[in-house]
Amino acid sequence: MRQLLQDLSNGQITLQEVPCPLVTPGHVLVRTAVSLVSAGTERMLLEFGKASLLGKARQQPDRVREAWEKIRTDGLMPTLDAIRAKLDEPVALGYCNVGEVLEVGEGVPDLAPGDRVVSNGSHAEAVLVSANLCAKIPPAVSDHDAAFTVIGAIALEGLRLAAPTLGETFAVIGLGLVGQLACQLLRAHGCRVLGIDPIASRTELARKFGVETFALSAGADPVAAARAYSGGRGVDGVIIGASTASDEPIHQAAQMCRKRGRIVLVGVSGLRLSRADFYEKELSFQVSCSYGPGRYDPDYESGRHDYPLGFVRWTARRNFEAVLEMIAAGRLETAPLITHRFGFEQANLAYDALAGGSSLGIVIEYPRGAAAEEENLRRNTIAVAAPRLAPRPAQPAAAVIGAGHFAGRTLLPALRSAGVHLRTVVSMGGVSAARMAKKFGAEQSSTDPHAAIADPRVNTVVVATRHDTHAALCCEALEAGKHVSVEKPLALSEVELDQIEKAYAQAARQAGVRLMAGFNRRFSPLTQRMKSLLQGVAEPKCFIVTVNAGVVPPAHWTRDRRAGGGRIVGEACHFVDLARFLAGCRIAGFQAASVGAGGDAVSFTLRFEDGSLATVNYLDNGANSFPKERIEVFAARRTLVLDNFRRLTGYNWPGFKRMALWRQDKGHEAAVAAFAEAIRSGLPSPIAFEELAEVSRVTLRIARAATINNQSD
């Protein structure tokens, strides 16, 4: 299938061939009939993409501050690499989609193939969307009218926050699509409405909907106009639908409001508020969040959890349905808002029209193909490069499952450097898989991990997906007789770990497979040097590992125990493995405790069979400017200090003072190379499976103990 994508580095917009998404529980696959360009959001993306690197930095000052902090801790080159990688990621455009349901995932009882639906899907021939962000279209509503549903829901959510009542007077600043629909919805609430915009054609259109308008021009005073329209009292509320970096809309809205008036920002505006504007009148101000409750909530958007109607009357989906009912009843007109129509093949022209500034509603129409084209549309795997000669049995031929940020920046470059033959790259949505496959020379891209694992041309499976999928994909690949490299963590529970141990024992016995986990830090050249220096120390050692992990938002998937396992299981496992590697003997026991209720600041001590101790302080409450990782070793009246995998220093260490690298090296490339070489040469896996299982099991128990100890306190 084809999808419309934007290159953030230069703003270029292209139609690209990507594999069709695989249907997942709580979601539906929709064949697109019509989509609507969101003039405000997509124009901003267009302008951002076309801006220079300096221009991009000026538009995102918060990101600039983050970049400076990363430079201080990780160095200049890694920071530049991270910025380039981020800009290299294509952006899927659009979120106003209308089409026909092709397939329904598990747990979606109220939708069926053939249903006409509206969703927040992108500009693509087929989209996979959450059932909770998808609504049936009434028979009386055309596809073109329904395309305005999501924009209408954005306007409607703004009104719900403003709570207009019959007879009140409202001003709407900005008469783009959101503003025009907000005006009509306010009129439907029985309000008097003043529409304000600098473009004459938009004020003329609003007048046709029964709105009093004021055209901004040089020297024009919208505040005076609003006061006159409200009989000198001031308007009861203001909806700001403008898209601008200026603070002026907020200032004007405050001045034109009556005492205790309400202001709701639905568009984009500068947010430097004047205390005097708001203090004297006791004004209320809110920023509206997209389509309504549920938006950006992972549980809601997964399609599995809805909010009870008795407690949350208007969710995102219910707002969609309310807008559709208004259109069906003829109380919301959308046809006059359409200024341009383009076929999907000419989608670039739509963005030329958008950049020209004279457009309002731009509709993209999708062709309905023959049966052969329908089959092509739904292909989950597509060819990217011509198939090569089948690799020798000992040559790694990999399916890489997961094409996220880490895979693109670190894993795939390392696989290519190690000479691994890339057969397939898999991602859930297909866009990143297609891009990564093309960039790194893979034969094909796919959205189907099961087909990739079953592919007879694949002998090695690399798993770089979300943590809750690691164990199942690992077991599936082992049962298929494939070598497996799994990013950490290996499993999220001891039950999953038991399943992996069982699958590995059988696969190793029958097929001689190798299993590797992503414990890369032991492969860093500085870690290897530290290990060699410790070989001559027979007495017990003391290790102190300090990890300044930084804050991760509470809603981030890595902190979700079900999806990511929590940060101890998902990230601190690295340092359990690192201490185990440096000690060179089994872990005999541990103690753990967390700081506070969040569980992301944890201190634990490992006891080793030779009497060595390792204290790991994994902390999220430190300064961002402080280095991320520091490892100290004390033994035989000597000390080694490893700083952020860039510098190793010896104190009173015979024959060694320091070793420094030009750039940080956490061992990713060396770990991949060692695994690939083990497959080629028939050597054992670089990390014995018993050690992988030991580290994984101890980490799981540390996470559980830290939580229990925190609760008991």
The arithmetic mean of pLDDT across residues 576-601, rounded, is 89
Radius of gyration of the CA atoms of the chain, in A:
29
Distance separating alpha carbons of residues 696 and 702, to the nearest angstrom = 10
Please list the residues that pair with 126 across neighbouring strands: 31
- 405-411 long-range Cβ contacts below 8 angstroms, 24+ apart: 405/85, 405/86, 405/89, 406/464, 406/487, 407/436, 407/464, 408/85, 408/88, 408/89, 408/432, 408/435, 408/436, 408/439, 409/81, 409/82, 409/85, 410/668, 411/462, 411/464, 411/487, 411/668, 411/672
pLDDT-based confidence at residue 713 (cuts at 50, 70, 90): very low
Is residue 66 scored above 70 in pLDDT? Answer: no
Cα dihedral 189→192→195→201 (10° resolution): 90
pLDDT value for 585? 95
Per DSSP, the three-state class of 675 is: helix
Q: Are 587 and 580 in contact (CB under 8 A)?
A: yes
Return mean pLDDT, the chain: 91
Please list the residues that pair with 136 across neighbouring strands: 117
Distance separating alpha carbons of residues 333 and 177, to the nearest angstrom = 12
What is the fold of 521-664+685-712?
Dihydrodipicolinate Reductase; domain 2 (3.30.360)
Is residue 452 scored above 80 in pLDDT? Answer: yes
Fold: same for 151-287 and 389-517: yes
pLDDT-based confidence at residue 217 (cuts at 50, 70, 90): confident
pLDDT-based confidence at residue 550 (cuts at 50, 70, 90): confident
Cα 484 to its chain centre, rounded Å, is 26
CB atoms closer than 10 angstroms to residue 219: 5
- Cβ-proximal residues to 46 (8 Å cutoff; 6+ apart), any chain: 6, 11, 13, 351, 354, 355
Q: When comparing pLDDT for 152 and 39, which is higher?
A: 152
Is residue 592 scored above 60 in pLDDT? Answer: yes
Is residue 464 scored above 70 in pLDDT? Answer: yes
Give the per-residue SS3 of 176-208.
CHHHHHHHHHHHHCCCEEEEEECCHHHHHHHHH
Residue 299 DSSP label = H
H-state helical runs in 404-443: 405-406, 412-417, 431-440
pLDDT value for 697? 97
Residue by residue, DSSP assigns 9-71 as TT--EEEEE-PPPPP-TTEEEEEEEEEEE-HHHHHHHHHHHHS-HHHHHHH-HHHHHHHHHHH
The arithmetic mean of pLDDT across residues 515-542, rounded, is 96
Cα 54 to its chain centre, rounded Å, is 24
Q: Which two tokens stand for residue 617?
A: 């302080």
pLDDT value for 136? 98
pLDDT-based confidence at residue 712 (cuts at 50, 70, 90): very low
151-287: CATH class? alpha beta
pLDDT value for 392? 62
Q: Which of 210-224, 372-386, 596-610, 678-692 has the highest mean pLDDT?
A: 678-692
pLDDT value for 7? 86
The arithmetic mean of pLDDT across residues 618-623, rounded, is 89
- Cβ-proximal residues to 518 (8 Å cutoff; 6+ apart), any chain: 485, 486, 487, 488, 671
Domain range list for the chain: 2-147+313-365, 151-287, 389-517, 521-664+685-712
- Cβ-proximal residues to 120 (8 Å cutoff; 6+ apart), any chain: 95, 96, 97, 129, 133, 150, 291
Distance separating alpha carbons of residues 203 and 209, to the nearest angstrom = 10
Distance separating alpha carbons of residues 571 and 564, to the nearest angstrom = 10
Tell me the per-residue pLDDT of 111-150, one tens digit each, with 9 for 90 and over: 999 999 999 999 999 999 999 999 999 999 999 999 999 9
Dihedral over Cα of 212, 216, 220, 221: its sign: positive
pLDDT-based confidence at residue 607 (cuts at 50, 70, 90): very high
Q: Are 233 and 168 in contact (CB under 8 A)?
A: no
The residue type at 540? P
Tell me the per-residue pLDDT of 91-108, one tens digit each, with 9 for 90 and over: 899 999 999 999 999 999
Is residue 562 scored above 80 in pLDDT? Answer: yes
Is residue 244 scored above 60 in pLDDT? Answer: yes
CB atoms closer than 10 angstroms to residue 137: 23
Is residue 272 scored above 90 in pLDDT? Answer: no
What is the fold of 2-147+313-365?
Quinone Oxidoreductase; Chain A, domain 1 (3.90.180)
CB atoms closer than 10 angstroms to residue 305: 13
pLDDT-based confidence at residue 56 (cuts at 50, 70, 90): low
Distance separating alpha carbons of residues 27 and 105, to the nearest angstrom = 5
Tell me the per-residue pLDDT of 300-330, one tens digit each, with 9 for 90 and over: 998 778 999 999 999 999 999 999 999 999 9
Q: Are 543 and 613 in contact (CB under 8 A)?
A: yes
Is residue 5 scored above 70 in pLDDT? Answer: yes
Q: How far is CA 490 from CA 498, 504, 569, 693, in A?
A: 11, 12, 9, 8
Per DSSP, the three-state class of 679 is: helix
Is residue 177 scored above 90 in pLDDT? Answer: yes
Q: Are 447 and 470 in contact (CB under 8 A)?
A: no
Q: In terms of CATH, what superfamily is 389-517?
A: NAD(P)-binding Rossmann-like Domain (3.40.50.720)
Tell me the per-residue pLDDT of 638-677, one tens digit each, with 9 for 90 and over: 999 999 999 999 999 999 999 999 989 999 999 999 999 9
Distance separating alpha carbons of residues 659 and 641, to the nearest angstrom = 10
Residue by residue, DSSP assigns 438-487 as HHHT-SEEES-HHHHHH-TT--EEEE-S-GGGHHHHHHHHHHTT-EEEEP
Tell me the per-residue pLDDT of 371-382, one tens digit each, with 9 for 90 and over: 556 777 889 999
pLDDT-based confidence at residue 71 (cuts at 50, 70, 90): low
Q: Which of 73-82, 227-236, 507-516 has the highest mean pLDDT?
A: 227-236
pLDDT-based confidence at residue 44 (cuts at 50, 70, 90): confident
The arithmetic mean of pLDDT across residues 49-64, rounded, is 66
Is residue 38 scored above 90 in pLDDT? Answer: no
pLDDT value for 325? 97
pLDDT value for 711? 45
pLDDT value for 241? 93
Give the per-residue SS3 of 100-142.
EEEEECCCCCCCCCCCEEEECCCCECEEEEEHHHEEECCCCCC
| Percent of the chain clearing pLDDT 90 (strictly above) | 73
Distance separating alpha carbons of residues 211 and 252, to the nearest angstrom = 19
Is residue 393 scored above 90 in pLDDT? Answer: no
